[in-house]
Chain A
Amino acid sequence: QVQLVQSGAEVKTPGASVKISCRASGYPFFNYYIHWVRQAPGQGLEWVGTINPANGHTAYAQNFRGRVSMTRDTSTSTVYMEWITLSSPRSEDTAIYYCATEVSIGDFDYWGLGTLVTVSS
């Protein structure tokens, strides 16, 4: 069956290096886009971005463009998300980060359990 296994919780200071992962199994890795969605404590869902595992092409929400990077490792069927600027992550980036597959347009069929990223000085 399809599974998305996410990496464990992270506690970081602002601007520290953070890279979280999502390992897919149970289906051909190249078949489905993988999206990242975050949820700050007590807040709603926010779409972060997406990666096409077949070619590595990405798209990001405006709030994350230039601040995060999504990559994939086809040998391990894993996608990664990391913050790429010295000013990120910020305390406002404290949230649960979910990965999800998009089986067909808008059909976010399978979800990981989420990775809690806590950013605090």
Chain B
Amino acid sequence: QPVVTQEPSLTVSPGGTVTLTCASSTGAVTSGSYPTWFQQKPGQAPNTLIFSTNRKHSWTPARFSGSILGDKAALTLSSVQPEDEAEYYCLLFYSGIWVFGGGTKVTVL
């Protein structure tokens, strides 16, 4: 089964920008992997922020954006707010199955 890799942790200052990445053991991540990004806060179910690389929900703050950067999927948080401190997971599609990354803990400090 493929392995999806994310940065374990990142720290960002309030108002700053941080980019999380999502790499695949099988090679370059493309739009065909339908990268999805979730935010999870302690004690809560995950919340979908971005799907199909860069599509947002109505509840997704404008400061979150998804893209492909090089051979990875990326989630960029701009003008970071204290409430953005959370765990972020990416999810990739592989011919009928989905695989989560290990998650990135974002600390706002």
Q: Which residues of A are interface residues toward B (Cβ below 8 A)?
A: 35, 37, 44-47, 50, 59-63, 98, 100, 104-109, 111-114
Contacts and interface: CB of A to CB of B under 8 A. Distances in A.
Given A61-B1, A62-B1, A108-B36, A44 B89 contact: yes
Most B C-beta atoms less than 10 A away, residue of A37, A100, A106: A106
B46 interface: yes
B48 interface: yes
A44 B38 CA distance: 12
Nearest to A48: B98
A83 B40 CA distance: 27
Interface of B: 1, 34-36, 38, 40, 45-48, 51-52, 55, 57, 87, 89, 91, 93, 96-103
Contacts of A100: 46
Contact of A44 (B97, B98, B100): B100
Given A44-B89, A61-B1, A114-B45, A106 B96 contact: no
A47 B97 contact: yes
B103 to A, nearest CB: 4
B46 A106 contact: no
B98 A35 contact: yes
Given A98-B46, A104-B51, A107-B48, A61 B97 contact: yes
Contacts of B35: 106
Contacts of B91: 45, 47, 106, 108
A112 B98 contact: no
Contacts of A112: 45
Given A106-B35, A107-B36, A45 B100 contact: yes
Contact of B103 (A45, A60, A63, A113): A45
A33 to B, nearest CB: 10
B52 A107 contact: yes
17 contacts: A37-B100, A44-B87, A44-B101, A44-B103, A45-B89, A45-B91, A47-B91, A47-B100, A61-B1, A61-B98, A62-B1, A106-B51, A107-B52, A107-B55, A107-B57, A108-B51, A111-B46
B93 A108 contact: no
B99 to A, nearest CB: 6
